[in-house]
Chain A
Amino acid sequence: TTRSWNFLGLSPHSPSNILPKSKMGDGVIIGVLDTGIWPESESFNEKGLGPVPFHWKGACESGENFNTTIHCNKKIIGARWFIKGLLAEYGEPLDTSTDFLSPRDANGHGTAISSIAAGSFVYNISYKGLGGGTVRGGAPNARLAMYKVCWNLFNGYCSSADILKAVDVAIHEGVHVLSLSLGDSVPISTIVDDAIAIGSYHAVTRDIIVVCSAGNDGPFAQTVTNTAPWVITVAASTMDRAFPTSITLGNNITLQGQSLFTGPHTGFTRLIYPKSTKIDSTSTSICDSLSSLNKTMVSGNVVLCFTSYSEEALREAGCVGVIIATNPSDLMLPSDDDFPNIQVDYEVGTRILSYIRSTSAPLVKLSRTKTVVGKLISAKVAAFSSRGPNSATPAILKPDVAAPGVNILAAYSPLRSYADGGYAVKSGTSLSTPHVSGIVALLKVMHPSWSPAAIRSALVTTASRNGPSCSILPIFAEGSPRKLANPFDYGGGIVNPNKAAYPGLVYDMGREDYINFLCAVGYNTSALSQIVGQVTACSSTKPSVLDVNLPSITIPNLRDNINLTRSVTNVGPVDSVYKVDIDPPLGVNVAVRPDTLVFNSSVKTITFTVAVSTTHHVNTGYYFGSLTWTDGKHVVTSALSVRTQIADYTDG
Chain B
Amino acid sequence: TESSNVHIVYLGETQHDNPELVVDLHHELLASVVGSKELASELMVYSYKHGFSGFAAKLRESQVQQLSELPGVVRIIPNSLHKLE
Contact = CB atoms under 8 A, between A and B. Distances in A.
Interface of A: 34-35, 84-85, 88-89, 107, 109, 150, 154, 156-165, 167-172, 181-185, 189, 192-196, 198-199, 202-203, 206, 213-216, 428-430, 433, 527, 529-534
B45 A84 contact: yes
A295 B50 CA distance: 62
Contacts of A428: 84-85
Contacts of A532: 12-13
Contact of A160 (B52, B77, B85): B77
A171 B48 CA distance: 11
Contacts of B5: 89
B84 A109 contact: yes
B52 A199 contact: yes
Contacts of B51: 167-168, 170-172, 199, 202-203, 206
A165 B48 contact: yes
B6 A168 contact: no
A163 B77 CA distance: 13
B8 A195 contact: yes
A510 to B, nearest CB: 15
B52 A159 contact: no
B49 interface: yes
A183 B74 contact: no
Interface in B44-67: 45-46, 48-52, 54, 56, 58
B79 interface: yes
B73 to A, nearest CB: 8
Given A158-B84, A193-B75, 11 more contacts: A157-B83, A158-B81, A159-B81, A160-B81, A165-B48, A170-B51, A181-B84, A193-B77, A199-B52, A214-B85, A531-B74
A537 to B, nearest CB: 15
Given A84-B45, A88-B58, A532-B12, A202 B79 contact: no
18 contacts: A34-B84, A85-B46, A89-B6, A161-B6, A164-B54, A168-B48, A168-B50, A168-B52, A171-B51, A183-B82, A183-B83, A184-B80, A189-B80, A193-B75, A198-B77, A202-B51, A216-B85, A527-B74
Contacts of A215: 85
A531 B14 CA distance: 9
Nearest to B11: A530
Interface in B1-21: 5-6, 8, 10-15
A433 B11 CA distance: 29
B79 A159 contact: yes
Contacts of B14: 533
A531 B12 contact: yes
Interface of B: 5-6, 8, 10-15, 45-46, 48-52, 54, 56, 58, 72, 74-75, 77, 79-85
B21 to A, nearest CB: 14
Interface pairs A-B: 7 shortest CB-CB: A533-B13, A171-B51, A530-B12, A172-B50, A161-B56, A430-B85, A202-B52
B81 A164 contact: no
A195 B52 CA distance: 12
Contact of B13 (A157, A168, A202, A430): A202
A150 B10 CA distance: 22
Nearest to B58: A88
Contacts of A35: 84
A202 B48 CA distance: 12
Contact of B72 (A183, A198, A530, A534): A530
A484 B47 CA distance: 48
A85 B45 contact: yes
Contacts of B10: 198
Nearest to A217: B85
Contacts of A534: 13
Nearest to A156: B84
A85 B56 CA distance: 8
Contact of B84 (A159, A162, A182, A189): A182
Contacts of A160: 8, 77, 79-82
B47 to A, nearest CB: 9
A215 B85 CA distance: 6
A182 B83 contact: yes
Contacts of B72: 530
Contacts of B81: 154, 157-160
A161 B10 CA distance: 11
Nearest to A107: B84
B75 A527 contact: yes
A109 B85 CA distance: 9
A169 B50 CA distance: 7
Contacts of B83: 156-158, 182-183, 185
Contact of B82 (A171, A182, A198, A216): A182
A183 B84 CA distance: 6
B6 A88 contact: yes
A205 to B, nearest CB: 9
A198 B85 contact: no
Contacts of A164: 8, 46, 48, 54, 56
A230 to B, nearest CB: 13
A184 B56 CA distance: 19
A430 B85 CA distance: 5
A88 B42 CA distance: 11
A532 B5 CA distance: 28
Contacts of B56: 85, 88, 161, 164-165
A345 to B, nearest CB: 25
Contact of B85 (A181, A194, A195): A181
B61 to A, nearest CB: 15
A168 B14 CA distance: 11
Contacts of B79: 85, 88-89, 159-161
B13 A195 contact: no
B6 to A, nearest CB: 5
B82 A530 contact: no
A433 B80 CA distance: 22
Contacts of B80: 159-160, 184, 189, 195
Nearest to B84: A156
A608 B52 CA distance: 35
A529 B46 CA distance: 23
A632 to B, nearest CB: 40
Most buried by A among B52, B58, B77: B52
